[in-house]
């Protein structure tokens, strides 16, 4: 048995081969039946002839519908007119599943597609999405392994908020209240005291009530935490990491990117140095970027979309006012109203893919910030302990992998970048 892509080869012309997969397209005349067969690797045109198969078998083959599964034996020949340049002449076949009409076709509504995502993921478009996602996840881990990091596994059921109470998912926990984690950051911080450089890829959960093109309630969060470094060094690492991932996708998935209609030259632009701007500078330039903002304004999906339509490479925004961000960010010693943090905004209108920065590492400063934010110190006793025992400067980041995938593939909605999106209105399939 061979994969479809492996039989598309001059060296196999004239040889008897066996392939298997699913009917991608099928059409027949009185004497000939053309089956385009697909497997996970590619598609190939196969032809069954009535006079060679015999009347009964020919009828059976011709009666198949899209997505029926079968294996085929036959000889390969070159054919310029065939969809992938070769054609298999069928000598025999075995059917595994003879379908009723497959419900999913190209012209379906967005809701129908989402209700049938378990079937839609077989489409060539979505297979391309899945292959690119696979490269992105692998490249993220490869980058950190190659740079001496350890992968760690924080818990997903937790007792405290990381990113504010409004998006917490509550779950009953044997008479107590637990939450699904919003971010593994605080746990990653605990690991640096033994391993110094750590990362994790795990789901994060946000009870996002707004419906936007870039928010999920369950998303894949790639987070890193590094001992002894500040905000600037953290950004340098992230820039290299994003470029490493883009290179991996360009090396591995050119065909998939083309199938999705992605302009790879624009994507290549991001292999050049990223742009950097402080929040103050952004406010100053905002009108000329087509999105007038005033000091103190936060950036949401719409604001970032407009700003980032001006850029073809990512942009780091640094030094946000403290009140715009969560309590753990370290204030800038030169101007304590600002914090040593950054967001990385993806170009072409995509906006935030990373949030990160330096963490407060002084015990009293952190206690004060917890109190100022109306939180209870006792809930964070273990997080405070990290500042009591062997505290050190450190920084970290969180990258939304589904958002990164959406940008890399140039998709218009995050639901198209993840196989089973969870949003305020969707829990199925
Ligand atoms: O900016 P956020 O909220 O930062 C944190 O959670 C930090 N504790 C991470 C850290 O420093 N370890 O989220 C980080 C990233 C965002 O930049 C975005 O890409 C993604 O997570 N993200 C979402 N992706 C999809 N749907 C949502 N609802 C998301 N919320 C955040």
Q: What is the CATH number of the domain that holds 357?
A: 3.30.930.10
Which helix (H) or strand (E) segment is 174 a member of? none
How would residue 240 be classed by pLDDT, with cut points 50, 70 and 90?
Answer: very high
Ligand 1 atom nearest residue 223's Cα: 12
Measuring CA to CA, which residue among 406, 400, 398 is closest to residue 342?
398
β 43-49/86-97 pair status? parallel
Q: Could you tell me if 54 and 124 lie in one domain?
A: no
Q: How confident is the model at residue 318 (pLDDT cuts 50, 70, 90)?
A: very high
Is position 108 within any domain?
no
**Cβ 394 under 6 angstroms from ligand 1:** no
Residue ranges with strand state E in 285-404: 315-318, 331-332, 335-339, 341-346, 351-358, 394-400
- Rounded to whole angstroms, the Cα distance separating 121 from 125 reads 8
For 70-110, the pLDDT digits (tens) are 999 999 999 999 999 999 999 999 999 999 899 998 889 99
Ligand 1 centroid – CA 275 distance (Å): 20
217 Cα: distance to centroid of ligand 1 (angstroms):
11
pTM of the model: 0.97
Share of the chain above pLDDT 90, in %: 95
8 A C-beta contact, residue 216 and residue 421: yes
Nearest protein CA to atom 21 of ligand 1, as residue:
400
Is residue 291 within 8 Å of 284, Cβ to Cβ?
no
Tokens of 287: 């009108």
**Any idea what the CATH number is for the domain that residue 39 is in?**
2.40.50.140
Residue 421 is assigned to a structural domain of this protein? no
Query: Quick one: which atom of ligand 1 is closest to the CA of 414?
Result: 25
Report the phi/psi class of residue 416: left, alpha or beta, with left for phi > 0 and alpha for psi in -120 to 50.
alpha
Q: How far is CA 75 from CA 2, 91, 282, in A?
A: 13, 8, 63
Query: Is the beta carbon of 163 within 6 A of some atom in ligand 1?
Result: yes
Q: What is the distance between the alpha carbons of residues 240 and 258, in angstroms, rounded to a whole number?
A: 24
Using one digit for the tens of pLDDT, what is the confidence trace for 111-124?
A: 999 999 999 999 99
310 and 212 housed in the same domain: yes
Expressed in angstroms and rounded, the spacing between residue 263 Cα and the centre of ligand 1 is 26
Indicate the residue among 67, 97, 127 that finishes a domain.
97
Residue ending a domain, among 97, 127, 145, is 97
Rounded CA separation 215/45 (Å): 40
DSSP codes, 67-129:
T-EEEEEEEEEE-TTSTTSEEEEEEEEEEEE--S--S--SS--HHHHHHTHHHHTTSHHHHHH
CB of 215 closer than 6 A to ligand 1?
Answer: yes
Sheet containing 157-158: order of strands: 157-158, 176-180, 169-173
Of 66, 97, 128, the residue that ends a domain is: 97
Instruction: Note the pLDDT of residue 132.
Output: 98
pLDDT attached to residue 210: 79
> What is the predicted pLDDT for the residue at 106?
81
C-beta neighbour count of 14 within 10 angstroms: 7
Distance from Cα 219 to the centre of ligand 1, integer Å = 9
Q: Which atom of ligand 1 is nearest to the CA of 356?
A: 11
Nearest residue (CA) to ligand 1, atom 6: 183
Check residue 400 and give its pLDDT: 98
pLDDT tens profile 325-359: 999 999 999 999 999 999 999 999 999 999 999 99
Please work out whether the CB of residue 358 comes within 6 Å of at least one atom of ligand 1: no
**Whether residue 55 has pLDDT greater than 90:** yes
Identify the band that residue 161 occupies on the pLDDT scale cut at 50, 70 and 90: confident
List, for residues 173-203, the tens digit of each pLDDT value.
999 999 999 999 999 999 999 999 999 999 9
State which residues form the domain around 35. 4-97
Q: Whose CA is nearest to atom 28 of ligand 1?
A: 215
78 and 122 inside one domain = no
Domain count for the chain, please give it: 2
Are the CB atoms for 154 and 188 separated by under 8 Å? yes
């Amino acid at each position: 048995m061979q994969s479809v892509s492996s039989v598309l080869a001059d060296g196999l012309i004239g040889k008897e081969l066996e392939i298997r997969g699913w009917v991608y397209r099928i059409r027949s005349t009185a004497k000939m039946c053309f089956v385009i067969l697909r497997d996970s690797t590619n598609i190939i045109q196969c032809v069954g002839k009535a006079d060679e198969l015999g009347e009964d078998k020919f009828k059976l083959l011709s009666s198949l519908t899209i997505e029926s599964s079968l294996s085929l034996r036959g000889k390969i020949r070159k054919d310029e007119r065939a969809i992938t340049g070769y054609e298999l002449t069928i000598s025999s076949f075995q059917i595994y599943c003879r379908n009723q009409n497959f419900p999913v076709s190209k012209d379906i509504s967005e809701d129908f597609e989402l209700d049938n995502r378990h079937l839609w993921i077989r489409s060539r478009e979505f297979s391309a999405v899945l292959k690119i996602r696979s490269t992105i996840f692998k490249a993220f881990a490869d980058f950190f392994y190659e740079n001496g990091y350890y992968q760690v596994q924080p818990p997903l059921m937790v007792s405290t908020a990381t990113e504010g109470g409004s998006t917490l998912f509550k779950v009953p926990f044997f008479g107590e209240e637990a939450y699904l984690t919003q971010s593994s950051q605080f746990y990653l911080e605990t690991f640096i005291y033994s391993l110094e450089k750590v990362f994790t890829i795990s789901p994060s959960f946000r009870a996002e009530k707004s419906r936007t093109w870039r928010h999920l309630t369950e998303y894949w969060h790639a987070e890193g935490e590094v001992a002894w470094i500040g905000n600037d060094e953290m950004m340098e690492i992230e820039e290299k990491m994003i470029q490493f991932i883009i290179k991996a996708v360009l090396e591995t998935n050119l065909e998939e990117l083309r199938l999705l209609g992605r302009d790879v030259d624009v994507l290549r632009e991001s292999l050049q140095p990223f742009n950097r701007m402080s929040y103050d500078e952004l406010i100053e330039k905002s009108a000329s970027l087509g999105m007038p903002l005033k000091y103190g304004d936060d950036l949401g999906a719409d604001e970032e979309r407009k700003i980032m339509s001006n850029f073809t490479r990512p942009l780091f925004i640094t030094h946000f006012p403290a009140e715009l961000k969560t309590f753990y960010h370290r204030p800038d010693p030169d101007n304590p109203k600002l914090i040593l943090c950054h967001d990385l905004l993806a170009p072409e209108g995509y906006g935030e893919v990373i949030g990160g920065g330096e963490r407060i590492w002084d015990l009293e400063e952190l206690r004060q910030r917890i109190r100022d934010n109306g939180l209870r110190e006792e809930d964070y006793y273990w997080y405070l302990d990290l500042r009591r025992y062997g505290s050190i400067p450190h920084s970290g980041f969180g990258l939304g992998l589904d958002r990164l995938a959406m940008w890399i593939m140039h998709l218009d909605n995050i639901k198209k970048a993840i196989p089973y999106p969870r949003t305020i209105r969707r829990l199925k399939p």
